[in-house]
Amino acid sequence: MRSKNFLLLAAVLCAGLLTGCVPDPASDLRSQTWRVVSTNGESGQMTFNVSTAAYTSPTFSRGFSYSVEEGVLTLDVEDAEDEGPFLFDIERESGEYILVPDTEEVREEFGELTLAPTED
């Protein structure tokens, strides 16, 4: 009986430690500036605040409101010309985020995005 309780406690502690090591994507995105590379050929930088995000490149800038819930990033474009919201599944790989478009229309508009921390 004691060994079962010990194993259960050990399993709970390990799960808690592993969960604590994975950063919350919303907090992590707000923590720094990100280099963005898209599969459609565009690149630039993106910064996230509490509820807004800004994308800047040498050719244009674009603002978004955003939210992160259950592993999905939702971007709403601030101008009325674009339809939205745009949804991306969030995948984390080696300190980078891969944003995978939810639909083919979003993939055509934005491509698949890789966000990597900028080197300051």
pLDDT, tens digit (0-9, with 9 covering 90-100), for 20-68? 455 799 999 999 999 999 999 999 999 999 999 999 999 989 899 999 9
**Of 42-51, 59-68, 76-85, 94-103, the least confident:** 76-85
Whole-prediction pTM value? 0.77
* Residues forming beta bridges with residue 101, ordered by sequence position: 88
DSSP assignment letter at 40: T
d(CA 96, CA 73): 15
Q: Comparing C-alpha atoms, which of 62, 57, 89 is closest to residue 74?
A: 89
12 burial via Cβ count (<10 Å: 0-12, 13-18, 19+): exposed
**Mean pLDDT to the nearest integer, 76-86:** 75
> Which helix (H) or strand (E) segment is 120 a member of?
none
